[in-house]
């Protein structure tokens, strides 16, 4: 059950309307998460600005893999469904999406990024020197590592928001959580 009400785009006014107009212009629709975040225009604006700022170093596929891993670890069904759909749009296969949700990737450099992101979430930011060295040795620059951390933080925000709000999933359903192996392992 949704606990924080989504703001209907058609009846929104002021800053809320402006933000939702921008979302619709960019995506072609207003996802329920953003309509729900619009209950506080400051939250929606912060989310949009944070997300827009993180598109420079990491590819869309790596960012989606990180989002999928974080959603699975945090138990956010909304984000798992949303990023499965967005991951497909960015070119990830079903197998790559499932692998990311399990905390890995067949691509060695992407695998290091996802494993480091998972380590950050599980350790609440206290990744070990060995985990840092692994992502660095896989070829990630300090700029990319900084953006992995920022993408984890952004996804924790959306996970916690959607879990708290009870955001109704408006993306194609996915198996959640993945049954055969725990994301916490």
* Structure confidence at residue 1 (pLDDT): 87
Q: pTM here? A: 0.93
Residue ranges and CATH numbers for the domains of the chain are 9-53 (1.20.5), 60-165 (1.20.1290.10)
Residues 6+ apart with CB under 8 A from 110: 61, 62, 65
Give me Rg for the CA atoms of the chain. Answer: 16
Mean pLDDT confidence for 135-141? 97
Mean pLDDT confidence for 50-79? 95
Count of beta carbons in the 10 Å neighbourhood of residue 172: 10
């Amino acid at each position: 059950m949704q606990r924080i009400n989504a703001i209907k785009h058609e009846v929104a006014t002021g800053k809320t309307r402006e933000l939702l107009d921008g979302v619709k212009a960019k995506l072609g629709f207003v996802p329920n998460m953003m309509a729900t975040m619009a209950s506080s225009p400051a939250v929606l604006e912060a989310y949009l600005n944070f997300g827009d700022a993180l598109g420079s170093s990491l590819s869309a596929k790596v960012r989606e893999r990180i989002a999928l891993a974080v959603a699975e670890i945090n138990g956010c069904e909304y984000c798992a469904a949303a990023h499965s759909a967005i991951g497909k749009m960015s070119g990830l296969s079903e197998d790559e999406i499932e692998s990311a949700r399990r905390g890995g990737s067949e691509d060695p450099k992407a695998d290091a990024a996802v494993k480091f992101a998972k380590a950050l979430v599980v350790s609440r930011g206290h990744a070990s020197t060995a985990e840092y060295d692994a992502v660095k040795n896989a070829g990630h620059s300090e700029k990319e590592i900084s953006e992995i951390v920022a993408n984890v933080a952004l996804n924790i925000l959306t996970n916690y928001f959607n879990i708290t709000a009870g955001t109704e999933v408006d993306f194609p359903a996915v198996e959640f959580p993945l049954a055969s192996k725990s994301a916490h392992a």
